[in-house]
């Protein structure tokens, strides 16, 4: 089985969509949430988390947005959960995301797209170490 890091971004918390989004993850058969915490992310954590995007035009506003309020960080465990949560989330740009996906149903603009999920096994290992080192 796999593990993945999920972040419910500050817009999800502000818009009271946490229960709705976690419900979709919980209803998926065979998956389980093995860690969960509300926390406000600092600059150093965010720079490490989104380091691959450093230098891109959207990087600074992305970091600022991600620090603008608490996020809900969770570890989800289960069969093919890395690609599975990405599929539940839908494409990065909510306009391109189909109804039925989290971003398709609730997303507004590309920066405020509600959810992060690790995009590969390597990313999952790196991000889990960063967010849940004790886990
Ligand atoms: P994350 O799970 O947050 O990593 O999203 P992702 O994997 O679907 O997208 P990616 O890693 O490519 O980009 C990270 C985040 O940067 C996205 O979720 C968006 O919030 C933001 N982002 C990515 N591309 C753009 C862009 O072209 N414009 C803007 N404004 N934001 C972007
Ligand atoms: Mg990404």
In this prediction, residue 135 has a pLDDT band, given cuts at 50, 70 and 90, of: confident
Instruction: Centre a 10 Å sphere on the Cβ of residue 1 and count the other Cβ atoms it contains.
Output: 10
* Alpha carbon nearest to ligand 1 atom 10, residue: 92
Is 9 assigned a ligand-binding role in the annotation?
yes
Average pLDDT estimate for 25-34: 96
Identify the architecture of domain 2-131 in CATH: 2-Layer Sandwich (3.30)
How high is the pLDDT of residue 39?
A: 98
How high is the pLDDT of residue 41?
A: 98
Q: What is the pLDDT of residues 59-116, one digit of tens each?
A: 999 999 999 999 999 999 999 999 999 999 999 999 999 999 999 999 999 999 999 9
How high is the pLDDT of residue 81?
A: 98
* Alpha carbon nearest to ligand 1 atom 13, residue: 92
Q: Is the CB of 58 under 6 A from ligand 1?
A: yes
H or E stretch including 116?
Answer: strand 115-117
Q: What is the 50 CA–ligand 2 centroid distance (Å)?
A: 8
Q: Is the CB of 111 under 6 A from ligand 1?
A: yes
- Each domain of the chain, given as residue ranges in start order, spans 2-131
* Alpha carbon nearest to ligand 1 atom 28, residue: 58
Instruction: Centre a 10 Å sphere on the Cβ of residue 65 and count the other Cβ atoms it contains.
Output: 16
Summary mean pLDDT of the chain: 97
Contact 2, 81 (CB under 8 A): yes
User: What whole-number distance in Å separates Cα of residue 73 and Cα of residue 41?
Assistant: 10
Which residues belong to the active site? 116
pTM greater than 0.90 (yes/no)? yes
Question: Would you call 72 helix, strand, or coil by DSSP?
Answer: strand
How high is the pLDDT of residue 113?
A: 98
Complex ipTM over 0.90? yes
């Amino acid at each position: 089985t796999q593990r993945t890091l999920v972040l419910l971004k500050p817009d999800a918390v502000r818009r009271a969509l946490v229960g709705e989004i976690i419900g979709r993850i919980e209803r998926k058969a065979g998956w389980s949430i093995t860690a969960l915490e509300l926390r406000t992310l600092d600059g150093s954590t965010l720079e490490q988390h989104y380091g691959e995007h450093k230098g891109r035009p959207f990087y600074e506003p992305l970091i600022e947005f991600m620090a603008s309020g608490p996020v809900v960080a969770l570890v989800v465990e289960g069969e093919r959960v890395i690609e599975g949560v990405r599929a539940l989330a839908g494409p990065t740009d909510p306009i391109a995301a189909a109804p039925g996906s989290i971003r398709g149903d609730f997303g507004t603009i590309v920066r405020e797209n509600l959810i992060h999920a690790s995009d590969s096994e390597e990313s999952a290992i790196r991000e889990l170490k960063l967010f849940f080192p004790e886990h």
